[in-house]
């Protein structure tokens, strides 16, 4: 599908455009003044709210907006979206009332206490990655470090062979980043993912393990085992949603500190600031943008929305709204009041938020302990992902001090 | 001053029990539970206000 360069983001918005990938924040600021809900005929019709209040209103309005598909792509919404209530990847793709049933099955495994029990495993994982970098002065904080941390954690929780990391990272790319491909090609690329997950389910049926796949196979709703497509879809969700999101969050944090030596020195001198710094990195560099579909023709804030129009639900834009946050475009690592929406708002709050915070905390603690001083090799060599998850995909860093 | 918690708004972001673990806890689903329902002392009030000002869902209010 052709994606000509965007000349006017207010009327022809495209989140895969080079200008948006390079610096979405400046464009968000322009849109906030000019629109504040952008529109596009691309992808079959799309609306892009950039005010916190509008993002919050849509996230909380499950009557007019459905989560049936949450990744905007070239297909019409129905093409790759099984109908409600289950949807392609429950519960992220589910609406009420089924959503809550599917979500409650998963919440206990992602609650604070079971996630806290993964701390030691995470710390070993991070140190092994740093050890593997050897004595190199230049390392790639995205490719050698950040990307492997969520892969290790998700593989352990879900029950995937850790050596398949490269494989499921490629699945994530096909689903989340390659959104500008024609729909036939997208569906063709989905086939190996489907085969892989079906294979995992068969293995776990034969040989149950202490992991989430076995848990889903044993789980019941009102006395019935889960439908096959429910088990499949939830495994797909757990693999896809937990990886490049947290990879991005860890990468953006290291990128910020490499770019801002004062913040780095302050965090080294005052490690007690790390929790508020992490929340501020989540606010300022929120990796995840979600999507909704308009259920039926409906006017929202004066915009004539049509059935099956996409909504690009930008939590990153909500997090930069100056009506909501003082000095919204500045990163203040000791910010006290921070109602950021990095993990979403409303009933679809990120299921893995406790896991993501654990991974960020341990990843940054260990990185800062081992590398108390570092800098960007070259700002131009840093590349960012395109699509609905934003973060550095290549991040060459020069280590200036190690311990 | 007391903690007023609207449970139906809580989506389990977990900010309150991370910032003020003496005032809030998590249930088995990650939803917040209030531990101190009575009058807050000055020190508790400070942390309660911090928790409230970090709740993305505006589920916590501090008042009479």
- In A294-394, which ranges are continuous DSSP H helix? 315-318, 353-370
- The pLDDT of A43-56, averaged and rounded, is 97
**pLDDT value of position A173:** 76
Beta strands A46-49 and A310-314, pairing class: parallel
Residues from chain A contacting residue B57 (CB–CB below 8 Å): 345-346
The Cα A38–Cα A150 span in angstroms is 33
> Nearest Cβ partner of A336 from B28, B30, B50?
B50
Chain B nearest CA to A285, separation (Å): 16
**How is residue A330 annotated by DSSP?**
S
Least-confidence region, from A1-10, A218-227, A357-366: A1-10
Are the Cβ atoms of A108 and B57 closer than 8 angstroms? no
Are the Cβ atoms of B14 and A354 closer than 8 angstroms? yes
**pLDDT value of position A366:** 98
Are the Cβ atoms of B30 and A107 closer than 8 angstroms? yes
- In A260-332, which ranges are continuous DSSP H helix? 261-269, 274-284, 315-318
The Cα A277–Cα A273 span in angstroms is 6
Residues in a beta bridge with A298: A305
**pLDDT value of position A331:** 98
Give ipTM to 2 decimals.
0.98
Residues in a beta bridge with A399: A374
The Cα B28–Cα A113 span in angstroms is 8
Residue of A112, A282, A360 to mutate, interface with B, max B Cβ within 10 Å = A112
Beta strands B60-63 and A373-376, pairing class: unpaired
**pLDDT value of position A51:** 98
Chain B nearest CA to A119, separation (Å): 16
Are the Cβ atoms of B29 and A111 closer than 8 angstroms? yes
Are the Cβ atoms of A108 and B28 closer than 8 angstroms? yes
Residues of B numbered 41-60 whose beta carbons fall under 8 angstroms of chain A's beta carbons: which are they? 50, 53-58
**pLDDT value of position A85:** 65
Chain A nearest CA to B15, separation (Å): 9
**How is residue A322 annotated by DSSP?**
T
Residues from chain A contacting residue B13 (CB–CB below 8 Å): 343, 349, 353
* pLDDT bracket for residue A190 (50, 70, 90): confident
Residues in a beta bridge with A224: A221
* pLDDT bracket for residue A82 (50, 70, 90): low
Residues ≥6 apart with Cβ < 8 Å to A126: A145, A149, A362, A363, A366, A367
Counting Cα atoms < 13 Å in the Cβ hemisphere of A279 gives: 21
**How is residue A155 annotated by DSSP?**
I
Please tell me if residue B10 touches chain A, with a CB cutoff of 8 Å: no
Residue of B13, B24, B55, B57 to mutate, interface with A, max A Cβ within 10 Å = B13
Per-residue model confidence as pLDDT tens digits over A362-385: 999 999 999 999 999 999 999 999
**pLDDT value of position A165:** 83
Are the Cβ atoms of B56 and A339 closer than 8 angstroms? yes
Q: Quick check: A224 and A150 in contact, CB under 8 A?
A: no
Residues in a beta bridge with B63: B2
Residues ≥6 apart with Cβ < 8 Å to A124: none
Are the Cβ atoms of A111 and B30 closer than 8 angstroms? yes
**Cα three-residue angle A180-A184-A190, rounded to 5 degrees:** 85
Distance of alpha carbon A126 from its chain centroid, rounded? 20
Q: Where are the domains of chain A?
A: 18-401
Residue A78 in this model has a pLDDT that exceeds 70: no
**How is residue A389 annotated by DSSP?**
B
Chain B nearest CA to A121, separation (Å): 21
Per-residue model confidence as pLDDT tens digits over A248-265: 999 999 999 999 999 999
* pLDDT bracket for residue A240 (50, 70, 90): confident
Residue A157 in this model has a pLDDT that exceeds 80: yes
- The pLDDT of A33-53, averaged and rounded, is 96
* pLDDT bracket for residue A395 (50, 70, 90): very high
**pLDDT value of position A257:** 98
* pLDDT bracket for residue B63 (50, 70, 90): very high
> Nearest Cβ partner of B12 from A336, A341, A349?
A349
Residue of A101, A107, A114, A116 to mutate, interface with B, max B Cβ within 10 Å = A107
Chain A nearest CA to B22, separation (Å): 15
Average pLDDT, chain A: 93
Residues from chain B contacting residue A113 (CB–CB below 8 Å): 26
Residue B8: C-alpha distances to residues A52, A108, B11, B60 (Å)? 21, 18, 8, 11
Residues in a beta bridge with A389: A288
**pLDDT value of position A303:** 97
The Cα B9–Cα A392 span in angstroms is 34
Catalogue all structural domains in chain B, each as residue range(s) with its CATH number: 2-63 (3.30.70.20)
**What residue in A sits closest to B17 (Cα-Cα)?**
A112
**pLDDT value of position A299:** 97
Count of other CB atoms within 10 angstroms of residue A106 = 21
Distance of alpha carbon B14 from its chain centroid, rounded? 9
The Cα A394–Cα B42 span in angstroms is 48
> Nearest Cβ partner of A107 from B13, B18, B29?
B29
The Cα A402–Cα A123 span in angstroms is 17
Q: Which residue in A158, A196, A202 sits closest to A175, CA to CA?
A: A196
Are the Cβ atoms of A339 and B54 closer than 8 angstroms? yes
Instruction: Read off the tokens for A49.
Output: 């709210």
Chain A interface residues facing chain B, Cβ-Cβ under 8 Å?
104, 107-108, 110-113, 275, 279, 336-341, 343, 345-347, 349, 353-354, 357
- The pLDDT of A338-345, averaged and rounded, is 98
Residue B15 in this model has a pLDDT that exceeds 90: yes
Q: Which residue in A308, A330, A310, A311 sits closest to A319, CA to CA?
A: A330
Q: Please, what is the angle between helix A353-370 and helix A274-284, to 10°? A: 120
Beta strands A396-401 and A392-394, pairing class: unpaired
Distance of alpha carbon A174 from its chain centroid, rounded? 14
**What residue in B sits closest to A353 (Cα-Cα)?**
B13
Distance of alpha carbon A2 from its chain centroid, rounded? 26
Q: Quick check: A321 and A328 in contact, CB under 8 A?
A: yes
The Cα A122–Cα A120 span in angstroms is 5
Per CATH, the number for A18-401 is 1.10.630.10
């Amino acid at each position: 599908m052709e994606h000509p360069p965007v000349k006017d983001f207010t009327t022809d918005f495209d989140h895969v455009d080079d200008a948006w990938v390079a610096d979405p924040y400046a464009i968000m600021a322009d849109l906030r003044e000019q629109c504040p809900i952008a529109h596009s005929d691309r992808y079959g019709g799309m609306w892009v709210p950039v005010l916190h209040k509008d993002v919050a209103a849509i996230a909380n309005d499950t009557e007019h907006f459905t989560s049936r598909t949450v990744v905007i792509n070239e297909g019409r919404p129905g093409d790759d979206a099984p109908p409600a209530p289950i949807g392609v990847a429950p519960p992220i793709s589910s609406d009420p009332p089924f959503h809550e049933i599917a979500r409650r099955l998963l919440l206990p495994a992602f609650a604070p206490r079971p996630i806290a029990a993964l701390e030691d495993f995470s710390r070993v994982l991070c140190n092994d990655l740093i050890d593997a970098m050897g004595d190199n002065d230049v390392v790639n904080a995205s490719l050698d470090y950040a990307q492997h941390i969520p892969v290790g954690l998700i593989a352990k929780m879900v029950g995937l062979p850790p050596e398949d990391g490269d494989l499921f990272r490629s699945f994530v790319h096909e689903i989340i980043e390659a959104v500008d491909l024609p729909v036939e090609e997208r569906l063709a690329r989905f086939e190996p993912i489907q085969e892989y997950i079906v294979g995992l389910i068969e293995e776990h049926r034969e040989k149950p393990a202490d992991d989430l796949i076995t848990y889903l196979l044993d789980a019941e709703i009102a006395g019935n085992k889960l439908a096959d497509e429910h088990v499949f879809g939830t495994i797909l969700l757990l693999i896809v949603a937990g990886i490049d999101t947290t990879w991005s969050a860890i990468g953006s944090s290291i990128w910020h500190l490499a770019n801002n030596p004062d913040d780095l020195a302050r965090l080294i001198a005052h490690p007690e600031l790390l929790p508020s710094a992490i929340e501020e990195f989540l606010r300022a560099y929120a990796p995840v943008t979600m999507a909704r579909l308009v259920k039926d023709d409906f006017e929202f804030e004066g915009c004539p929305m049509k059935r099956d129009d996409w909504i690009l639900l930008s939590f990153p834009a909500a997090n930069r709204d100056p009506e909501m946050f003082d000095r919204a475009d500045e990163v203040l690592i000791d910010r006290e009041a921070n109602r950021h929406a990095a993990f979403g708002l409303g009933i679809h709050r990120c299921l893995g938020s406790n896991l993501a915070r654990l991974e960020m905390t341990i990843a940054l603690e260990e990185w800062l302990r081992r590398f108390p001083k570092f800098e960007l090799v070259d700002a131009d060599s840093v590349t960012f992902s395109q699509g609905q998850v934003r973060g550095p995909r290549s991040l060459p860093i020069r280590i200036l001090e190690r311990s | 001053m007391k903690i007023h918690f609207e449970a139906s708004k809580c989506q389990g972001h977990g900010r309150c029990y991370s910032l003020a673990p003496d005032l809030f806890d998590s249930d088995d689903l990650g939803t917040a539970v209030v531990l101190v329902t009575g009058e807050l002392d000055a020190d508790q009030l400070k942390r309660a206000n911090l928790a409230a000002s970090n709740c993305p869902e505006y589920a916590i209010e501090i008042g009479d």
